[in-house]
Structure 1
Amino acid sequence: MPVAHERRNRLMLAIIAIGVVHIGEQLMFGIDEFHKLRAAFDGWYALFPDERVDEAHMLLITLIGTIVSLGFYAMMRGGTPALVVISAFGGIGLKEVYHWIEAIQAGAYTSGLATSFAYVWAGWQIKQEVSHELKLRRKQRKLAAKAVAA
């Protein structure tokens, strides 16, 4: 396995571990993020009449399960589809920068801030690795096309 893949694999394990520690931090110091996430789903449930809330919940679980399953399938396929999924993990890490904004607005520590630095760093590193690999693949395709044309 090339060194670049080994680094990317280590970064994926790191961001998974950081996610677990990040949730642990929030469980210890406040689950405000959970309440925000829960409120975000209010719009979903509002699309359904009250007597259909169970169906709305099952449909949401099915949609999320399908997205996760497609991610697994992309990882099994390898190549660019796998890189898209890996890049999404990088995006998850990068979005944690919002903890910095919250802390600045609050003028104090907010739950999730401490681990958000590692999360953002790992997300940035993953995005860099994926970008580098995609550029390398494009370059290799161009060289292969030139070789075939010659």
Structure 2
Amino acid sequence: MIFVSCDKVDVPMSKQEKMRASDWTIDTLTITYMSYTGADSEVQSLWKRTESGVEVSNKPDCLRDDFIKFRDKNDGSHIPGPNKCATSETNDIEFTWGLRDADTKVYMYGLYALFGQDVNADMLYFEDDNFAFSFPRKVPTNGGDSITVKITCKLEKK
């Protein structure tokens, strides 16, 4: 008589599976201004800052209750909370998303209310409860021209 025993092998979840398994909120947004040589020169946080050694946030109230849901088949939803940023804001803003280049790049198309443009970003890091990405964006200057800055976004599990 032969007895065979099998050990269950747990396969770790992929980044896409981890993204789909949770709801995500935007924790921080920063803008990095580039020097004329293209190097990072100044970084400004859009929402968080430190005052007298205490971190404070001036994140708009209408974004505090929003979250992002990554779904199957590269579909996603930006779910605004009850506190809307605009009266025309719907309850479910659909977008397309995905990872590419061995999960080192992330794209999100249609999240204009959050990012002002389609996003083609570099994945900076990915942990179980948060991840960050950065992408270039053109912003107007006082002189009427525009400059390219780097936007960095950190998402956290809701």
Same fold (TM over 0.5): no
Structure scoring higher RCO (CA < 8 A, sep ≥ 6) equals 1
Higher helix share: 1
TM-score, normalization: structure 1? 0.22
Higher strand share: 2
